[in-house]
Amino acid sequence: MDYLYLHGFASGPRSKKGRFLQAQFQNLGISLKMLDLNQPSFETLTVTSQLAVLEANLSEEPATLLGSSFGGLLAVLQAIRDSRIEKLVLMAPALQFIKGWQKDLGEATIALWRATGQMPVYHYGYGMERNLKPDILDDAALYDENQLTRPIPTLILHGHQDTVIPVERSQIFAQNRPYVNLKIFETDHSMESVLEPLWHEVATFCGLPPSQ
């Protein structure tokens, strides 16, 4: 089984949660492949470009995808079309991301973004603002996470105090999908305050010993 970690939007593979999970896998002698989805550049980022990075890093072996925030959305989208994906671990997955983002930004901001061809976004992985092209808006419309009907074992971990991606989105996704197990924690979007119990859930779900 291959294990791959997909980071969130405007983030990178060296986030605190990502490094923590990688260390837990390493303690078990298992490689957790940390992908950098900001390729070829964050400025030209789209859903399609990120899925291309994921596709390039998959082998012919079965895979478990661990996705954080936007990485969780990407994991679902890949699982829709790829039978190699046998398990999903979704941490505060950015379900309904573009729809929610457009609502938060408002029509005027989106119109200005399209007119200028760029919008400054703070990138937590780089520690600075980067300009993002509006291509991601139209590209995201090509994808629909609700098309996941294959009964793939899925663990969703979400914070009740998440103000970035409301937990209700995960609850709606889990409805009528008996293969989805939703665990809710008293934490925020980063989930950094519950890393140990989060790992316990991940290890149990993946059939791994929770600690050495």
User: What pLDDT is stored for residue 212 in this prediction?
Assistant: 53
This prediction's pTM: 0.96
pLDDT of residue 211: 64
φ, ψ at 107 (rounded to 5°):
-60, -40
From CA 117, how far away is CA 94, in angstroms rounded? 24
pLDDT per residue as tens digits for the range 67-113: 999 999 999 999 999 999 999 999 999 999 988 888 999 999 999 99
Mean pLDDT of 117-126: 96
The residue ranges of every structural domain in the chain are 2-97+137-206
Q: Which run of H or of E encompasses 71?
A: helix 70-81
pLDDT band at residue 210 using 50, 70 and 90 as cut-offs: confident
Q: What is the mean pLDDT of residues 188-198?
A: 97
CATH of the structural domain 2-97+137-206, one choice from 3.40.50.150, 3.40.50.1820, 3.40.640.10, 3.20.20.370: 3.40.50.1820
